[in-house]
């Protein structure tokens, strides 16, 4: 199997468009189509379906995509290893990152990396765990920086815990409740709320807090996966939210948002790095992970 043709196929599926994939690869669209058709003939199955909205992988294509992405990641790591053996201090690392980790942890780690090895190039893909874990498993990213399970649930993934964090009830700095020394659950239940979705762990902890006091959990007027939207709504209204404290680090410094004095809300999560259990990580990838560990130990 010609792996160059496999790379053409992977680009087409990733972009969802032959035109965009051809531009990304620097080849003509007819050349790209010809390569994919040749690959389909060699395997004896259709790999992509062309439609009004672009191209998608067939079930045969999905099987090739899964294994092809892993091989592609290994080629990327091998190239980094060879550069390292040649004495170069460069490489390309693809990191997945969650919203909390993008607030301080990763920026501080990348700053440390730039000071020590400015030739290392990093691409950061942003997402929640439901996206990040498949990206790690399929080789789309070298490692993910996000919440990690206390016990591994996927034999293909390897987790490393760096620290734990907690969540807080958040209001704008001049909210009427911000002047109180202690806020009763019954008063909180009367407020407007912008919250994570029902299935999120922090939302479950939020609901459990009210139930433990014999109070029905307040309904969220707005549910979202966007922490940016949560914070914006809280800044611009009387609404409250419940999110990891790290997410408001800079807004607390600027006295825009604050954590309200609410006791008894128990929510903690381990934060760490996840990578594929099988396969090598490039020297550049190992170096970026080392920078993350250093920052986590120093600041968190």
pTM for the model stands at: 0.69
What domains can be seen in the chain, in order of their start residue?
A: 164-268 (3.40.190.290)
Residue 54 is predicted with a pLDDT of 81
pLDDT at 142: 93
pLDDT at 274: 95
* pLDDT at site 199: 79
Beta strand 194-195 with 222-223 is: parallel
| Beta-strand runs (E) in the chain | 48-51, 54-57, 91-97, 120-126, 143-147, 157-172, 194-195, 222-223, 241-244, 257-259, 268-276
Per-residue pLDDT of the chain (300 residues; tens, 9 = 90+): 677 888 888 888 888 888 888 888 888 888 888 888 888 888 888 888 887 778 888 888 888 887 777 777 777 767 666 666 555 567 889 999 999 999 999 999 999 999 999 989 999 999 888 889 999 988 889 999 998 987 777 888 999 999 999 899 999 999 999 999 999 999 999 999 999 988 787 888 899 999 999 999 999 999 998 999 999 999 999 999 999 999 999 999 999 999 999 877 778 889 999 999 887 788 889 999 999 999 999 999
Q: Which residues lie closer than 8 Å to 254 by C-beta, 6 or more apart?
A: none
- Residue 50 buriedness (CB in 10 A; 0-12 / 13-18 / 19+): exposed
- Count other C-beta atoms under 10 Å from residue 114's C-beta: 13
Q: Is 241 left (phi over 0), alpha (psi -120 to 50) or beta?
A: beta
Q: For residues 241 and 196, give the distance between their C-alpha atoms in angstroms, rounded to a whole number.
A: 8
* C-beta of residue 256 within 8 angstroms of C-beta of residue 171: no
């Amino acid at each position: 199997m010609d792996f160059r043709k496999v790379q053409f196929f992977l680009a087409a599926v990733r972009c969802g468009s032959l035109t965009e994939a051809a531009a990304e690869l620097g080849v003509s669209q007819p050349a790209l189509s010809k390569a994919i058709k040749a690959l389909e003939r060699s395997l004896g199955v259709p790999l992509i379906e062309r439609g009004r909205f672009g191209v998608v992988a067939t079930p045969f294509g999905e099987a090739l995509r899964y294994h092809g992405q892993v091989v592609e990641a290994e080629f990327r790591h091998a190239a980094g290893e060879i550069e390292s053996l040649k004495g170069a201090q460069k490489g390309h690392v693809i990191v997945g990152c969650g919203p909390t980790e993008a607030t301080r942890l990763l920026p501080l780690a990348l700053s440390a990396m730039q000071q020590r090895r400015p030739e290392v190039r990093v691409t950061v893909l942003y997402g929640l765990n439901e996206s990040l874990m498949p990206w790690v498993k399929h080789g789309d990213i070298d490692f993910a920086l996000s919440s990690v399970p206390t016990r591994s649930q996927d034999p293909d993934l390897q987790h490393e815990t760096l620290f734990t964090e907690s969540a807080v009830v958040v209001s704008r700095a001049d909210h009427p409740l911000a002047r109180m020394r202690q806020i009763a659950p019954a008063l909180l239940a009367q407020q407007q709320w912008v919250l994570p979705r029902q299935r999120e762990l922090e939302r479950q902890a939020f609901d459990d807090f009210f139930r433990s006091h014999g109070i029905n959990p307040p309904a969220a007027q707005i549910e979202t996966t966007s922490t940016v939207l949560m914070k914006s709504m809280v800044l611009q209204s009387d609404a409250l939210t419940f999110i990891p404290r790290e997410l408001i680090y800079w807004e607390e410094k600027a006295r825009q948002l604050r954590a309200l004095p609410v006791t008894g809300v128990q929510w903690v999560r381990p934060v760490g790095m996840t990578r594929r259990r099988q396969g090598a990580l490039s020297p550049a990838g190992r170096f970026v992970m080392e920078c993350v560990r250093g920052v986590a130990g120093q600041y968190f």
